[in-house]
Amino acid sequence: MNIYGYVRVSSVDQNEDRQIAALREVSVPEKKIFMDKQSGKDFERSYYKKLVRKLKAGDLLYILSIDRLGRNYEEIQKQWRVLTKEIGIDEYKDTLDREIHYDASRNIRISYEIEYDENHKWISETKYDADGNIIEQRKNQ
């Protein structure tokens, strides 16, 4: 399994430091961080395309948040299908403590949102199905 990171800012004058710092915190190797400085209106981005060509089944992809992948919800869904069904990545993680796991054998997606307090103590976890319906919620008492 290889670990990759993707960074996108909307223009060349925007600062990508926050996204890169978040990827470094989760130990994404520098040479496996792909960055585009252009709009997220579509997926015609050179480094995103290079990333997709590199990804293999079982790889892990980190992105600061899903809006860094793109702005158009339908396009994001299409790309999600490319990443999970055609390429077969096992996991996507955003660095905001949410995880999306895709099980290609059962054709399901389950996402988790985990909330921590300022001391990094676990507060709650919410589990969603592929349609965004809550499957389970747990809170730290």
Ordered DSSP codes for 54-67: H--TT-EEEES-HH
The SS3 call for residue 89 is: coil
**Residue among 62, 56, 69 nearest 26 (CA):** 62
- Rounded Cα distance, 94 and 5, in Å: 9
Q: Is 39 a catalytic residue?
A: no
Ordered DSSP codes for 91-135: EEEETTTEEEEEETTTTEEEEEEEEE-TT--EEEEEEE-TTS-EE
Annotated catalytic residue within 10, 11, 65, 124: 10
Active site residues: 10
